[in-house]
Amino acid sequence: MKIERSNFLRYIGRINYIAIIIIGIFTLSSGVYILFGNSNFEKVEFKYFASVIAIIVGAAITYVGINIRKEFEDKINRSDL
Parent domain of 23: 2-78
Check residue 1 and give its pLDDT.
44
> Number of folded domains in the chain?
1
DSSP string, 43-77: -HHHHHHHHHHHHHHHHHHHHHHHHHHHHHHHHHH
Whether 41 contacts 47, CB under 8 Å: yes
Rounded to 5°, the CA angle 21-61-23 comes to 45
Give residue 17's identity as a one-letter amino acid code. Answer: Y
Mean pLDDT by 10 residues, the chain (81 residues): 58 76 87 78 77 89 83 70 49
- Other C-beta atoms closer than 10 Å to the C-beta of 69 total 17
Check residue 64 and give its pLDDT.
86
Check residue 5 and give its pLDDT.
55
Check residue 30 and give its pLDDT.
86
Check residue 9 and give its pLDDT.
64
